[in-house]
Amino acid sequence: MPWEISYYQTPHNSQAQPFTYAALTQIVKLTPFLSGEAIQILLTNSYGNHPLTFSELWLSRDSAFKDAVRITKDQQTAFIIPAGQALGMDPIAFKVEARQPLYFCLRATTPQTYVDVASTYDPSLVNAALSGRSTALPQLTARWQQRKSWFNLAGFRVWRAKQAPLVELAGDSLIETGMVPAAVGRHLLTEFLDQVALINTAISGSQLLRDATATTPLLATFGDSLLHRVAHSPWRPKVMVASTGGNDLLIPPLAGQPLPTIKELQTGFMELDRLVAQNGSALLVPTLGPKRTSQAAYGAGQARANLLRTELNQWLLTQPYAVDVTSSLADEAGYLAADCDFGDNLHLSPYGGQQLAQALFARLDQILQNE
């Protein structure tokens, strides 16, 4: 019987915008995609320059932690995650059922700085709450407009009889915000219950072509380019869904760089296709979506960005891995529809995430059914 990832969301590098707490309690809700008879919880301190000490970690099937089980490392309740490393906790016999959420409570009693950070907005399958007190039990919120972040907890794997393929959701904030993963996740938990696992490796601000710059602390958190991440990825999913390219039309001017040319973007997508195929995976790339209005963050470059967006989308639709999502998200004038808009004219609402995901399902299902 193998260990299989049931859910995983990669924490990303926030060294440029670190979080320091005198004490910490975090509650994280993660929804399993695979069932199993035992569980191993996975934590990271990949980007930290110092070891992190936690006083306790609890696992429960309810958010009030009435049936909580204490998790240990080397049979000790307090544990340390060394700098630059990942950690697997002691496995325990604990029945995990796909679609039934699990709740994790991680506490620290000493002042520490946290830089391995994961986030979501959509709370339906993944959620989190933080407190700066080690004795608190922070409450989860159902508001999708509010960012929920947590530190160092990456996911878990389960002990089960049957192996299962992975679906990787990769790219930028259209994925990391959680609207698309929630919609894709609900679909997988309905149509492929206990058959497919989901991992989320997206980074807000990520570009297809260029790594983040240190121009500002925020820009520095946007991570390596998707091309660089895929080239060094340990994951071998059955299919990667990659939302990418939009930030290549937004971020460069903010960092004092020129926009990439259409040729450079086309070459980047062809290289992404090559790298994903080299990893033995299928690739699905949603088109960049509708044009954005002048209220978006593009500012004076909005017209040029929209022109490039339209031209790139036309080219993408000639590629076998591309999926047209533009018509699903656009209003009559061809701009991002109000009911699909998060409210910032850049990101998606839960409805927008559902619309984008719905456009993927036929192709996604075909790949998953082709064993």
Average confidence score pLDDT of the chain? 95
- Tell me what pLDDT residue 158 has: 99
Same domain, 223 and 138: no
Q: What is the pLDDT of residues 338-369, one digit of tens each?
A: 999 999 888 999 999 999 999 999 999 999 99
Which candidate, 102, 98, 125, 103, places its Cα nearest to that of 36?
98
Domain that holds residue 341: 166-369
Q: Which residues contact residue 322 at a Cβ distance below 8 angstroms, ignoring those fewer than 6 apart?
A: 284, 285, 286, 287, 316
E strand residue ranges, 85-234: 85-88, 92-96, 102-108, 112-114, 116-120, 126-131, 148-151, 153-159, 166-171, 197-200
Q: Any idea what the CATH number is for the domain that residue 314 is in?
A: 3.40.50.1110
With a cut of 70, say whether residue 300 has pLDDT above it.
Answer: no
Model pLDDT for residues 230-266, shown as the tens digit of each residue: 999 999 999 999 999 999 999 998 888 999 999 999 9
Is the domain of 185 the same as that of 329? Answer: yes
The string of pLDDT tens digits covering residues 94-141 is: 999 999 999 999 999 999 999 999 999 999 999 999 999 999 899 999
60 and 68 Cβ atoms separated by less than 8 Å: yes
The structural domain count of the chain equals: 2
Q: Which amino acid is at 13?
A: N
Q: Are residues 246 and 330 both part of a single domain?
A: yes
Angstrom distance (rounded) from CA 205 to CA 188:
26
Which of the 8 DSSP states describes residue 38? E
The mean pLDDT value for 282-291 works out to: 93
- Let me know whether 128 and 97 are in one domain: yes
28-45 pLDDT, tens digit each: 999 999 999 999 999 999
Residues 182-235: tens digit of each pLDDT: 999 999 999 999 999 999 999 999 999 999 998 899 999 999 999 999 999 999
Q: How far apart are CA 56 and CA 25, in angstroms?
A: 10
What is the spatial distance between Cα 225 and Cα 201, in angstroms, rounded to a whole number? Answer: 12
CA distance 121 to 144: 5
Domain termination site, one of 108, 136, 159: 159
User: Which two three-digit tokens encode residue 151?
Assistant: 């530190």
Same-domain check for residues 99 and 181 = no
Q: How confident is the model at residue 371 (pLDDT cuts 50, 70, 90)?
A: low
**In terms of domains, do 135 and 183 share one?**
no
| Cα–Cα distance measured from residue 277 to residue 240, given in angstroms and rounded to the nearest whole number | 10
Same domain, 363 and 237: yes
Q: What is the pLDDT of residues 163-183, one digit of tens each?
A: 999 999 999 999 999 999 999
Mean pLDDT of 272-301: 84
153 and 180 co-located in one domain: no
Average pLDDT of the segment spanning 3-13: 97
Instruction: Give the up-direction half-sphere exposure of residue 78: CA atoms within 13 A in the CB hemisphere.
Output: 6
What pLDDT does 299 receive?
A: 59
Same domain, 152 and 292: no
Same domain, 229 and 114: no
Helix crossing, 179-191 with 350-369: angle to 10°? 40
Query: Which residue, 124, 159, 194, sits at the end of a domain?
Result: 159
If you ran DSSP here, which 8-state letter would residue 296 be given?
A: S
216 and 324 in a single domain? The answer is yes
**End-to-end alpha-carbon separation of the chain, Å?**
20
Of 112, 97, 41, nearest in space to 71 by CA: 41
Same domain, 17 and 135: yes
In the predicted structure, residue 298 carries a pLDDT above the cut 90: no
- CA dist., res. 205 & res. 225, Å (int): 10
Would you state the structure tokens that stand for residue 246, as one six-digit string? 């939009």
Cβ–Cβ < 8 Å for 43, 86: yes
Backbone φ, ψ for residue 178 (5° rounding): 100, -10
CA distance 34 to 159: 10
**Among candidate residues 142, 159, 176, the one where a domain is terminated:** 159
Q: Which pLDDT does position 290 carry in this prediction? A: 86
Distance between CA atoms of residues 222 and 227, nearest Å = 14
